[in-house]
Amino acid sequence: MAEKRRSGVSAVMSDSKATKADTDQDFLCQAGVDVLLRGALLKLVEARSEDPIGFLAEHFSNLTSETENSPVGGGDGEQHHSNVLEQQQLSRALWHIGLAHHSQRSAFNSNTRVAYDLLIEGGSRRRGAAGGVKGRVYTELLRGLCSEGGLSVTASAPLLQRIQCHDHEAVPFELFRQGVLTCAAFTDYIRKSQCLYAAVSSCPEQAGDRALCQAVLGTLQEALETTSAWTDVARYLEASMKISPGKLAQAMAEAQGPSGGGTGPTMDAQEFEDSAAKLFLARVRIVS
């Protein structure tokens, strides 16, 4: 009898533990915690952050940043609330896009898709629009990407004029992806051109020799023209990155000539950057 009682108690305790475990698991599933944690860990693996705790804290901070309570009243209050939500969604979209460099094509495309869906969920669908992200929101996102990439308003304006859409237009995903990729590639390209100018200018306080600068720009243009990348503007950046030091040195040596150069007209860093940017922009299709 004692054995039966012990076995009965054990069975009850076992059933109780199993029920509790099932209840806990059901709770986590119903609350969506397992999905949130899985998504956060996947993002962490993609980003390979050196500060995993800080990365996860920022990730969950972004998830909870959206205001869930609807505003009381109408008119200006509703408009203000709508603007706040839009800015929050834009910030989250920019954060997702920045998790992977555009050279990590699979992860970059995946994050861009997440950003696109966020902007639709937070804006276009809520207002009853169909077909994609609103053009105004899309342009604002591109402007934010250029700013976070270190471009000034003046430097990014010519690019945005070519790829932005009208405010009322609905932007499909493929156009959205290409615009985001173009901005990411352009900011990297400008940094590359700044490094090229630093190689030409012997002293940061002095402007570079114009003949040398033109030789480097010619080599850059030649690299851009050797690629047929109309379907993917990021390949222009890849082409510019393939300029070998030997070829660059040869172009600079030919520009200097027997006299050694250094005594002629000069070109400052801004003029060089603007000239390099024009080479890239000439190959970016205008969104019609």
Q: How confident is the model at residue 65 (pLDDT cuts 50, 70, 90)?
A: low
41 contacts 99 by C-beta, under 8 angstroms = no
**CA–CA distance, 116 with 262 (Å, rounded to integer):** 50
* Amino acid 160: pLDDT: 94
Among 107, 93, 116, 99, CA closest to 55? 99
Among 139, 149, 20, 26, CA closest to 86? 139
Cβ count within 10 A of residue 120 = 23
* Amino acid 22: pLDDT: 62
Q: Which residue has the tokens 């693996």?
A: 45
* Amino acid 123: pLDDT: 56
| pLDDT, tens only, 24-47 | 766 766 666 665 676 677 667 666
Q: How confident is the model at residue 75 (pLDDT cuts 50, 70, 90)?
A: low
Q: Which residue has the tokens 């509703």?
A: 78
Among 69, 124, 58, CA closest to 91? 58
- In this prediction, residues 88-105 reach a mean pLDDT of 91
| Amino acid at residue number 274 | D
Distant-in-sequence, close-in-space partners of 205: CB < 8 Å, separation ≥ 6: none
* Amino acid 157: pLDDT: 94
